[in-house]
């Protein structure tokens, strides 16, 4: 399995909307083979940052998962809702550092 980290900047005042949209997105991404390991919101620092840690089958699952989610029958207005609440998103494939437990 591969780890994908999503670093998000949530629009000012849209944290509740983002949380709602992510709760709706989660089962759709699970259908694409993505498993959410953790999701974090900043409480000290940039209060508009959030991080999602996903376990995905491999690096190819990034593009395939995003396309699959967008064409999922339950996606509906979710894309517009996410766009309204997210200022920016960066997806990264990561591996543990040598010193990581």
| CA pair distance 4, 24, nearest whole angstrom | 19
Q: Is residue 66 part of a domain?
A: yes
Q: Is residue 99 part of a domain?
A: no
Domain of 14 in residue numbering reads as: 2-38+57-94
Q: What is the pLDDT of residues 48-81, one digit of tens each?
A: 999 999 999 999 999 999 999 999 998 999 999 9
Q: What is the pLDDT of residues 15-29, one digit of tens each?
A: 999 999 999 999 999
| CA pair distance 80, 59, nearest whole angstrom | 26
Split into its structural domains, the chain has a count of: 1
Q: Is residue 100 part of a domain?
A: no
Q: What is the pLDDT of residues 1-56, one digit of tens each?
A: 999 999 999 999 999 999 999 999 999 999 999 999 999 999 999 999 999 999 99
Q: Is residue 101 part of a domain?
A: no
């Amino acid at each position: 399995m591969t780890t994908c980290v999503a670093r998000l900047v949530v629009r000012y005042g849209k944290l509740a909307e983002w949380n709602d949209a992510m709760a709706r997105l989660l089962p759709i991404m699970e259908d694409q083979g993505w498993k959410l390991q953790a999701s974090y919101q900043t409480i000290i620092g940039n209060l508009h940052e959030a991080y999602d840690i996903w376990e995905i089958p491999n690096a190819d699952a990034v593009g395939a998962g995003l396309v699959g989610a967008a064409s999922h029958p339950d996606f509906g207005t979710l894309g517009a809702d996410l766009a309204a609440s997210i200022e920016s998103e960066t997806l990264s494939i990561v591996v543990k550092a040598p010193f990581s437990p």
